[in-house]
Chains A and B, each alone.
Chain A
Amino acid sequence: MTRSTARDRSFEDEALPLMDAVYRFALRLSKNPDRAQDLTQDTFLRAYQNWEKYTPGTQAKSWLFTICRNLFLRREERKKRHDEIVTSVADKDPRQISREATVFMAVRDRDPEGEFWRQMVDEEVLSAIDALPGEFREAVVLSDLEDMSYQEISEITDAPVGTVKSRLFRGRRILQERLYEYATEQGIVQATASGDATGARETLE
Chain B
Amino acid sequence: MKWVEELRRLLRKVGREKPMEEAPGGIPCEEAAARTFEWLDGELDAELEAKVGAHLETCARCYPMLLFEQSFREAVARVASDEKAPDELRDRIMDSLEEEGYTAPGASRG
Contact = CB atoms under 8 A, between A and B. Distances in A.
Chain A interface secondary structure, helix, strand, loop or mixed? helix
Interface string A39-67: 01100110011000000000000000000
Nearest to A145: B80
B81 to A, nearest CB: 9
B84 interface: yes
Interface string A143-158: 1111101100000000
B102 A11 contact: yes
B5 to A, nearest CB: 14
A37 B75 contact: no
Contacts of B70: 114
B105 A117 contact: no
A5 B84 CA distance: 27
A65 to B, nearest CB: 14
A101 B69 contact: yes
A5 B97 CA distance: 14
Given A12-B104, A37-B92, A40-B89, A125 B43 contact: no
B71 A115 contact: yes
B22 to A, nearest CB: 18
A147 B43 CA distance: 12
A144 B93 contact: no
Contact of B83 (A1, A20, A150, A175): A20
A120 B13 CA distance: 36
A144 B41 CA distance: 9
Interface in B69-91: 69-80, 82-86, 89-90
A40 B96 CA distance: 12
A19 interface: yes
20 contacts: A3-B101, A5-B105, A19-B93, A23-B85, A23-B86, A40-B85, A44-B97, A45-B97, A99-B34, A104-B69, A112-B68, A113-B68, A113-B71, A117-B75, A120-B75, A122-B78, A144-B73, A144-B80, A145-B79, A150-B43
Interface of A: 1-3, 5, 8-9, 11-12, 19-20, 22-24, 27, 37, 40-41, 44-45, 48-49, 99, 101, 104, 107-108, 112-115, 117-118, 120, 122, 125-126, 129, 140, 143-147, 149-150, 165, 168-169, 172, 175-176, 179, 205
